[in-house]
Chain A
Amino acid sequence: MSDAAGRGLDPLARVVTTEGAEPLFQTGDTVKVAMRFPVGHYRVPTYIRGKRARIEAVIVPPAINNEDEGFGRNAGIRRHYYRIAIPMRELWPQYRGPENDGLRIEVFETWLEGDDT
């Protein structure tokens, strides 16, 4: 037995999760840090904005969006932080150290975009 959408009757298979409960990205995904410059203090240093990165780990548990909560918005919606890896040579084209050297930093989901290029 299944409904019109092909889903079985198992209630576990029919659960719809709340917004932000499931991470948008998975370990190994390639992403890009958003190139945005909103007014105010944001925990995304400018030197990583617009840079390509690889998701190294999904950080659990999900956390509230501090940047919205700080302005009294959001009211508790949670999303994930990700530990992302960016090669030094991606950050600094002039970097002269070994190719493997890299940066790790945690970034909130709203600052990451998928990168298929």
Chain B
Amino acid sequence: MSSQAHDHVHLPDASDALPGYYEIMETAIRELLVDKKVFDAGEIRQMLEVMDTRTPALGSRIVARAWVDPAFRARLLANGRAAVEELGIDFFENTQLIVLENTDKVHNVVVCTLCSCYPREILGLPPDWYKLKPYRARTVKEPRAVLAEFGTVIPDDVEIRVSDSTSMIRYLVLPQRPEGTQNFTEEQLAALVTRDAMIGVVRASAPAKEKSR
């Protein structure tokens, strides 16, 4: 034991384990593609830099803009990708974006049963549960039960639409603007829009109540 006092546990180095089958396969294919000059190492690094700037905060701003600007909302619903590109957010996959509007009568939720298709340009990397089989298999079969497990109970007179994202289209849910936000700025509105609300497993958050003194 070291004489230095340690008040926390060190996690083992991630590199201690030998690489697994898929990790070796990824390295081999990457090296082949670099050797064949399909792309170079710098481009891989640059793509990681691009991904680091893509977070749910972008999606939140898009939703908040749609809530305050009816013309933008109309363009977003007509052609999601073109409206998002207006804001200077580019698409790096050859995909289109369909924006799904939640209303009093329709609740949308997004899943990818075949893998983990996700609008990475505007939401970043998907959460782990989105990639796991229970969510993928159950959302298309018993969506109301899955939503209830996220704390979202949808009344029977509201239609559930599950969008299974499998190839060329990515989906963004446009949640309903919460009650009591008439005087909110675009920035304050964006703070109510979480990643999960844009996947459709929860609603946009209600504004925090004023603390009683």
Contact = CB atoms under 8 A, between A and B. Distances in A.
B160 A106 contact: no
Contacts of A47: 113, 140
B143 interface: yes
Contact of B163 (A43, A45, A81, A105): A105
Contacts of B144: 97, 101
A83 interface: yes
B77 to A, nearest CB: 12
B74 interface: no
Interface size class of chain B, counting residues whose CB lies under 8 Å from the partner chain: 20 to 34
B167 A104 contact: no
B162 A103 contact: yes
Nearest to B137: A47
Contact of B166 (A43, A63, A88, A101): A43
A59 B166 CA distance: 14
B167 A108 contact: yes
B150 to A, nearest CB: 16
Interface in A2-58: 43-45, 47
B136 to A, nearest CB: 10
Contact of B169 (A45, A59, A98, A101): A59
Given A59-B96, A59-B169, A92 B141 contact: yes
A102 B169 contact: no
Contact of A104 (B113, B141, B156, B162): B162
A104 B161 CA distance: 7
B168 interface: yes
B140 A44 contact: no
17 contacts: A43-B166, A45-B113, A45-B164, A59-B96, A63-B168, A91-B140, A95-B141, A97-B156, A98-B157, A98-B160, A101-B161, A102-B160, A103-B164, A104-B164, A105-B163, A105-B164, A105-B166
Given A83-B169, A98-B159, A106-B166, 4 more contacts: A45-B114, A59-B168, A92-B141, A98-B160
Give the 5 A-B CB pairs with smallest separation, nearest first.
A100-B159, A105-B164, A43-B167, A101-B160, A104-B163
Interface of B: 96, 98, 113-114, 140-144, 156-157, 159-169
